[in-house]
Amino acid sequence: RLEEQVACLDHCDDLEPNHVDTLRRRATALYRLKRFDEALADYLRAHALDPADGNTCNDIGATLTGLRRDAEALTWFAWALALRTPELRGGVPKTLDDVAACFAAIRQVGACAPANADTSNNIGDALVRLGREEESLRWFDLAVELRPGTVLTLTGKARALARLRRRDEAVAAYEHIKRIDPGSADADFGLAHLHLMFGEFEAGWALREARWRLPGLRIVAPEFSAPAWLGEQSVAGRTI
């Protein structure tokens, strides 16, 4: 009921103009309604009131992308990184025609805040999404140096190494994650794909069962009338 939400927030804005939370909530509702011009106006007002909020910068970038103003969006995504936003919800657009411009913006952010673990990790992640895995590694390494033992950063590095087909280093990175978090489904699933990539099918298919434990993935393990057969025992009394 987004239209009703916008109407309610219009009333709130009349009663208390320039309230950052009201502006952000209305902008988000307008964005979901694809009323991007109106959403952008509210996000810009919120940014003027709280310029240090990296999430607002990120949302402005995402809204500009919705308006197909990708070049302008780059600046706001870069600001979101520079303001040390822990996670870029909109991300760096993959559909930009000028990938070089995107990379230049990311490098500019790196020069602004080179010694922050969150920023370094985000830059590494963005470079991976741009297909620049080799360049991403130094940013992941810097993030690990600044904040050792961060599973999110180690996972990003492991994925970059896997995409570079540097098997042994990727395995070492995933094993490092497992020492920190023995139950990590992301590490098990990453290892599964790595083994499958190199033709190590027995290990790969076994570890791929971790997909049922991946956080945030909207899949549920199916319920069968008999125990599942995973290849480790007799198939008698089991199902596939």
pLDDT of res. 51: 81
CA–CA separation, 150 and 91 (whole Å): 20
Helix 151-163, helix 167-180: angle, nearest 10: 160
Say what the pLDDT of residue 38 is.
92
- Residue bearing the bigger pLDDT, 222 or 23: 23
Three-state SS across 46-98?
A: HHHHCCCCHHHHHHHHHHHHHCCCHHHHHHHHHHHHHCCCCCCCCCCCCCCCC
Spatial separation of the C-alpha atoms in residues 157 and 69, rounded to whole Å: 31
Q: Which among 5-9, 26-30, 120-124, 184-188 has the top mean pLDDT?
A: 26-30
Give the other-Cβ count within 10 Å of 17's Cβ. Answer: 10
DSSP collapsed to 3 states, 7-24: HHHHHHHHHCCCCHHHHH
Question: Is the CB of residue 124 less than 8 Å from the CB of residue 136?
Answer: yes
Question: Is 195 within 8 Å of 207 (Cβ atoms)?
Answer: yes
Structure tokens belonging to residue 34: 């694809």
Let me know how long the chain is. Answer: 240
Write out the H or E segment, with its range, that includes residue 196.
Answer: helix 185-197
pTM for this structure?
0.57
Q: What is the pLDDT of residue 91?
A: 47
Quick check: 129 pLDDT over 70?
A: yes
Answer yes or no: is pLDDT of 99 > 60.
no
Rounded mean pLDDT, 10-17? 82
CB 26 within 8 A of CB 59: no
CA distance 32 to 174: 37
What is the C-alpha separation between 204 and 188, in angstroms, rounded? 9
